[in-house]
């Protein structure tokens, strides 16, 4: 059974870079059948797609975040990572990693999520 | 402001049928399939409906989805107290070149 687990600092200072890692277990991140994505949810608000990566490294980013986002993959560790630069309080959210199929497929499953607070 | 529009709340009594709407445009719902997610407080979203009307294994057939033009709907029949959750619609947007979500609907079982 595929499982995803987010990890990283829970507190980031304004203007710094948020860095999170998603560890995939129970399956290979190098599968040609899937993409791997990051999404977030500010407290009490709705979901927002951040970006998606294929195991070969091709990426797709939310245009509203594109200038600040980098998603990378480490197939040797079965992990993929998110970096979001120049963070502000508006970036405070629960960050989720998730898998989706190659075809226009939904995100499923999701990791449990990790809360990142931006505050000095 | 979410790209897809959902009512912020919905309610029903046990046993009733409730529908939640999701309105979009020609670049998202009008040209791509719709997915629905269920989220309980403090937990990650769970896929409920994909490709407009398909249920993943394990999802009760009380949950159904439909799409017409630039709108989609989630229907829950035989409402149960454990259905009380937030529900989100999602679709790919060809103009934004990304995934877009509705703002979510909080379902209350009275």
B35: left (phi over 0), alpha (psi -120 to 50) or beta: beta
- Residue A104: pLDDT band (50, 70, 90) is confident
Which chain B residue has the Cα nearest residue A43? B42
For residue B103, the chain A residues in CB contact (below 8 A) are 45-46
Q: What is the pLDDT of residues B33-72, one digit of tens each?
A: 999 999 999 999 999 999 999 999 999 999 999 999 999 9
pLDDT given at position A102 = 86
- Residue B91: pLDDT band (50, 70, 90) is very high
Instruction: Provide the sign of the torsion angle of the four alpha carbons A52, A101, B30, B36, taken in this order.
Output: negative
- Residues B14, B16: Cα–Cα separation, whole Å: 6
Average pLDDT, chain A: 96
> Which residue from A49, A61, A104 is facing B33, i.e. has the nearest CB?
A104
> Which residue from B32, B33, B45 is facing A47, i.e. has the nearest CB?
B45
Strands B46-49 and A114-118: unpaired
For residue A106, the chain B residues in CB contact (below 8 A) are 35, 37, 47, 50, 90
Q: Which positions in chain A have a beta carbon within 8 angstroms of at least one beta carbon in chain B?
A: 45-49, 60-63, 96, 104-113
B16 by DSSP, 3-state: which? coil
> Which residue from B43, B47, B101 is facing A46, i.e. has the nearest CB?
B101
Q: What is the pLDDT of residues A52-96, one digit of tens each?
A: 999 999 999 999 999 999 999 999 999 999 999 999 999 999 999
Which chain A residue has the Cα nearest residue B56? A108
A117: which 2 tokens?
């607070």
8 Å CB contact of B101 and A47:
yes
8 Å CB contact of A110 and B44:
yes
Instruction: Provide the sign of the torsion angle of the four alpha carbons B25, B29, B32, B38, taken in this order.
Output: positive
């Amino acid at each position: 059974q595929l499982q995803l687990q987010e990890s990283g600092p829970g507190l980031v200072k304004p203007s710094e870079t948020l860095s999170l890692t998603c560890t995939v277990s129970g399956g290979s991140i190098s599968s040609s059948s899937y993409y791997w994505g990051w999404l977030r949810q500010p407290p009490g608000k709705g979901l927002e797609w951040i970006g998606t990566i294929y195991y070969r490294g091709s990426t797709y980013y939310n245009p509203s975040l594109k200038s600040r986002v980098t998603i990378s993959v480490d197939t040797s560790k079965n992990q993929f990572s998110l970096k979001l630069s120049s963070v502000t309080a508006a970036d405070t959210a629960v960050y989720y990693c998730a898998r989706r199929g190659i075809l226009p497929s939904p995100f499923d499953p999701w990791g449990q999520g990790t809360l990142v607070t931006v505050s000095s | 402001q979410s790209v897809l529009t959902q009512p912020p709340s919905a309610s029903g009594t046990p046993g009733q049928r409730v529908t939640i709407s999701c309105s979009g445009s020609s670049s998202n719902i009008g040209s791509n399939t719709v997915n629905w997610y269920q989220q309980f407080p403090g937990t990650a979203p769970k896929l409920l409906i994909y490709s407009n009307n398909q249920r993943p294994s394990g999802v009760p057939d009380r949950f159904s989805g439909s799409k017409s033009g630039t709108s989609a709907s989630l229907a829950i029949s035989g409402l149960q107290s454990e259905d009380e959750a937030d529900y989100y619609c999602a679709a790919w947007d060809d103009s934004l070149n990304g995934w877009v979500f509705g703002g979510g609907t909080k379902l209350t079982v009275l």
